[in-house]
Amino acid sequence: MKDISEQEVIDIGDMDVEAFNDFATEQGWGDGMPLFVPTEAKVAKFVETVRGDNRPIPPVPPRQVVPTLQSMAANAVMAGCKPEYFPVVTAALRAVLDPEYNLHGSLATTHSCAPVVMVSGPIRKQLNINCGSNCFGQGWQANATIGRALGLMLLNIAGAKPGEMDRSTQGNPAKFTFCFGENEEENPWTPYHVQRGFAPTDSVVTVMSGEGPHNLNDHGSTTGDGLLTTFAGSMATPGANTVYGKGPMLVIIGPEHAQTLKRDGYSIDSIRQELFKRSRIHISRISKENQDTYTSTGHMPDGDWFTIGRNPDDIHITVAGGPGKHSAFIPSFGGTSVSCVRIAG
């Protein structure tokens, strides 16, 4: 197998899975869950799936290691991926290497952020990625292992060891895995990747350094105006990093809520504008000390109100999930971006 730190072959002899996991734990390679053994034969199968993608992979901060395909594949194997998932995993790594994503900062922060991975385009169906009911949850191999593979690469290639480089105060279950598919079939507007300039036929990975999903529960509102009132009130949280005015956030609208908003004439852009306007936070809800912190970072109030981001474009909107009158708000680390990469192949 390939040693994911030193990029050399290590002979593990006839170790069984249990012995390999004990060995990997001693090396600090794992996330606490059982790992699959990355044999050379398995790694080779994964590498073959991306041989046609000749885009260079830049150094991975903070260690500034330029990873080999073999080292990346070893992490994907250990995560439990199938070979056909590997192009998605490599695209996700490319996305977090966008300088605007601020990988070093997002890994070293005390905030609880983790990579939020969204998959769009035809590959969702090809790989059986869950876009509907429980799309943030358990039960789907592609979702679980693609997100986990990216986390293992950040652990083993970037060097984000908990308590060392990863200084998150409390962490986040999404650090194990957070991957879902966009529900394009029930999206009454333009799919997110098309909003970002990709073709509908492109398969795209979108990644943001964010928190876990915050539920937006509204079973009572029967109008788009009512839903936006609920959404905005839930988004207006003084404890969110986005109040510092430094970064984006995701609003994942459930299909039932999306249909109501569409029926009442709301577009993606008008939803974005309304949420930005309505989710302002009154200074009475923010301590004087924290107000000083916000202004010291250049985020000035608008009269007696603070906005939750820099401008409406910080609110990124799509549709995912299944039946039920729920949506989700995912605030980001703050000093990051929502990065998109087309999946090769």
Q: Is the pTM of this model over 0.75?
A: yes
**pLDDT for residue 8:** 57
pLDDT tens per residue across span 70-94: 999 999 999 999 999 999 999 999 9
Q: Please report which confidence band the pLDDT of residue 11 belongs to, taking 50, 70 and 90 as the band edges.
A: confident
> In the predicted model, what is the mean pLDDT of the chain?
94
Do the domain assignments include residue 3?
Answer: no
In-domain check, residue 7: no
Binning the chain into helix, strand and coil, the percentages to the nearest 5 are 40, 15, 45
2, part of any domain: no
Average pLDDT value for residue range 320-329: 98
For residue 151, the surrounding DSSP H or E stretch is helix 141-153
Q: Residues 28-52: what's their mean pLDDT?
A: 96
Does residue 42 have a pLDDT over 80? yes
Question: Can you tell me the mean pLDDT for 5-21?
Answer: 75
Say which residues have a Cβ less than 8 Å from residue 210's Cβ, sequence separation at least 6.
113, 114, 116, 174, 249, 250, 330, 331, 332, 333
pLDDT (tens digit per residue) in 269-306: 999 999 999 999 999 999 999 999 989 888 899 999 99
pLDDT at residue 2, rounded to an integer = 42
Distance CA 170, CA 156 (A): 21
- Whether the bond between 59 and the residue before it is cis, its omega within 30 degrees of 0, is no
Q: Please name which of 240, 234, 206, 238 lies closest in space to residue 112, comparing C-alpha atoms.
A: 240
The domain tally of the chain equals: 1
Cβ(63)–Cβ(159) below 8 Å:
yes
- Which range of residues forms the domain containing residue 130? 17-342
